[in-house]
Amino acid sequence: MQNLNQCYMSLTVSKYTYFFESSKNKYLAYNSCSNSFLKLSKDLFNYIVECKITPGLIGNISDDVLKMLTDNKILVNENGDEKFVQELKFKTNMATYSQNNIGLTIAPTNECNFRCPYCFEENKKSVSMTDKTIDDLIAFIESHKNAKTMGITWYGGEPLLAFDNIKKILEKLKSLSVELKYHGIVTNGYYFTDEVIDFFNENNLYHIQITFDGNRERHNKLRRDKDTRQGSYDVILANADKILERMPKTFLSIRVNIDKTNSNDYIETAKYLKERWKDHKNFEVYPGILRIDNEDKTDIGGNAMKHDDIANFLLGLANESKIYYDSYYPEFSSKVCSATNINSYIIGAEGEIYKCWNDLTDPNKIIGYIDKNEFTNPGVFYDYVISCKWHEDNDCVKCFFLPTCHGGCAWYKCRNLKENGRYNLCEVFNDEECLRKCLEIYYDRKTEQKSKQI
């Protein structure tokens, strides 16, 4: 067997390794590929930092230390980083072209009982699926012969306004051989009645997402019944109580929408709900950071939080109110989303097909129809599936964050590529100071958890 020291010549410090001294004087090496830390002695730390500039020095490191460093990918073989990128591209392509699962986000109606200012359009036609569209949908699913499993998320409009359609579709799906593996709903929560709860308990609903538009006062101003103009907070909260009480196998995500003007609403609401539901484990409360476009729809504008605002906000949550949200770097993004996997679709109420949730009801983004066996707009499909991939973007290929970020949201990437967009898609922690801070929090949290386990 080759001695590790004999092949030191081919070792180099990975470009995915970040060295930093923590505020508690710990000398840490973090690797974004393995998502792991190594705590080093000060001398070893300084020595490896030196090796970055003079790789020849690696030969003086003892075998057992070399093994530890290579196991954690702090040191890699020559071309190791390039191989990582190749492998990631292969895995991304596998995920992109995988047809084992069919992922469907279905809008059984595009009607809604609210008229939230950022969503409501005065002239939008209210449409619900007809029986023919439902039959076409079943045939469309059946035509995906390679799919053994299926994921369904109900979306809208407000999907529960077309509860009968949901029931019909699920009933008809029972005759197909494809297994319903994931079942979720994005709802405003207003119509989550006892009947709905019973039904979804029988149909293995895995996940519910409900949104509050800030705290009670703000929510009631924005999310009002479109006819009576009554606020909806109390009804939704009471329904969420019932969901947690009666649906122990379903996970409830409460999203609290925030922008620059109301970020405290998240903390207030999270505190309140965590106390209210302290006997339940199957829920989370997370901040929905609103993306509000500027007037020419090329960049974030208005009251939307900018890149730095988001980073500071998340760091503040982790630092000051530790229990409220854990999403600071490193958070792994999926290699593909519905827009970039070829077997995932968003189905509109008229049977039109989109790739991204954000495109629903935009006629320019319809890629085809469930009753037609062809693309009507292949360009949109290829933009998402091919052009927006991280491996088509040199900045992403070279980026330290690539192993976790995978290139950012394809919808914004498309706007940058095709519509003169200037959206910043990058990890919010890509400023060095910020990265150091959040890695330190992440390290402390990890070691805290480990010591608890011991």
The binding site for ligand SF4 (CB under 6 A) comprises 337-339, 356-358, 390, 395-396, 399, 401-402, 405, 407-411, 425-427, 430
CB nearer to ligand SF4: give 59 or 330.
330
What tokens were used for 398?
């070279």
Strands 352-354 and 368-369: antiparallel
What is the token pair recorded at 245?
């009480």
Cα gap 39→267, rounded to integer Å: 33
Question: How far, in Å, CA of 195 to CA of 171, rounded?
Answer: 16
- CA distance linking residue 348 with residue 370, whole number of Å: 10
* Closer Cβ to ligand SF4, 163 or 384, answer by number: 384
- Is-contact 443 22, C-beta < 8 A? yes
Closest CB to ligand SF4 among residues 16, 401? 401
Residue 48 or 107: the one with the smaller Cβ distance to ligand SF4 is: 107
| Beta carbon of residue 416, minimum distance to ligand SF4 (angstroms, whole number) | 10
CA dist., res. 385 & res. 382, Å (int)? 5
The distance of closest approach from Cβ of residue 439 to ligand SF4 in the complex, given in angstroms and rounded to an integer, is 15
Spatial neighbors of 79 by CB under 8 A, at least 6 apart, are none
Q: Residue 135 or residue 331: which is nearer to ligand SF4 going by CB?
A: 331
Q: Is the CB of 22 or the CB of 358 nearer to ligand SF4?
A: 358
What's the min distance (Å) between Cβ of 27 and ligand SF4?
Answer: 26
Residue pair 5/58 in contact (Cβ under 8 Å)? The answer is: no
- Provide the minimum distance between the beta carbon of 169 and ligand SF4 in the complex, in angstroms, as a whole number: 21
Provide the edge-to-edge strand list for the sheet that holds 36-40. 17-21, 27-31, 36-40
Q: State in angstroms the smallest separation of the CB of 153 from ligand SF4.
A: 11
Which CB atom, from 195 or from 432, has the smaller least distance to ligand SF4? 432
Q: How far is the CB of 215 from ligand SF4 (least distance, A)?
A: 26
Shortest Cβ 440–ligand SF4 spacing (Å): 20
Min separation Cβ 412 and ligand SF4, Å: 7
For residues 250 and 338, which CB has a smaller minimum distance to ligand SF4 in the complex?
338
Angle (CA) 61 64 70, round 5°: 80
Identify the residue whose tokens are 């329904």: 239
From CA 46, how far away is CA 31, in angstroms rounded?
17
CA–CA separation, 259 vs 273, rounded Å? 20
Closest CB 52 distance from ligand SF4, rounded Å: 20
Alpha carbons 276 and 270: distance in angstroms, whole number = 10
* Cα 417–chain centre separation: 21
Residue 159 DSSP class: G
CB 291 within 8 A of CB 340: no
Give 28 or 339: the residue with its C-beta nearer to ligand SF4: 339
Rounded to a whole number of angstroms, the minimum distance from the CB of residue 155 to ligand SF4 is 11
Name every residue whose Cβ is closer than 8 Å to that of residue 195 and which is 6 or more positions away in sequence.
none
Residue type, 406: H
Q: Measured between alpha carbons, how far is residue 253 from residues 13, 188, 224 in Å?
A: 41, 12, 21
Q: Would you give the distance in Å from CA 105 to the centre of its chain?
A: 15
Nearer to ligand SF4, 178 or 426 (CB): 426
Q: Which is nearer to ligand SF4, 311 or 339 (CB)?
A: 339
Strand pairing category for 179-187 and 149-154: parallel
Considering the complex, what minimum distance in angstroms separates the CB of residue 330 from ligand SF4? 11
